[in-house]
Amino acid sequence: MIDVSLIFPAELKPAYDWFEGEGYEPWESFRQSRTGPQWAHLGIFRDGELVGVVSCENRGRSCNYHVATKRRALKPNVLRNILIESTRLFLRGGMKYTSAFIPNENRAAKILALSCGMRLRAMNDTESRYYITAEEFVSRWGSYGA
């Protein structure tokens, strides 16, 4: 069974450990950088075990997603539905768009962004930026209940 609930920054350690050795900053610095009123962290649990985290960074009129999952722990459609429903909530709360900055080599994350209705908006040597506006969301998924 999949359950999604808010978690605190200190509970992000398992997600940090999934990517240890991939050039991330030290744990304490990572945790501190994701603490504050602009952050909301959704833990994704399967049978009580944390298997994914969707961190949402409020940037005023937009929200940036930071997604981490334990390898092969979630089917792509499950994560896609979680992202679509969280986007619906953020748009309902007044956001104008949601976005994701994805490392260029992360093909699975790019496919996930596209399956959520996001479009490629910008790209540089290291990452690609995908986002979906409120209008695009309504066109693709219907009302967000504003």
The string of DSSP letters for 34-103 reads: T-STTEEEEEEEETTEEEEEEEEEE-SSEEEEEEEE-TTSS-HHHHHHHHHHHHHHHHHTT-SEEEEEEE
Structural domain spans, the chain = 2-141
CA dist., res. 17 & res. 70, Å (int):
9
Interstrand relation of 49-58 and 39-46 (parallel, antiparallel or unpaired): antiparallel
Classify domain 2-141 at the CATH topology level: Aminopeptidase (3.40.630)
Q: What is the pLDDT of residue 131?
A: 93
The 10s digit of each residue's pLDDT in 118-137 is 999 999 999 999 999 999 99
Return d(Cα 91, Cα 136) in angstroms, integer: 11
Mean pLDDT of the chain: 88
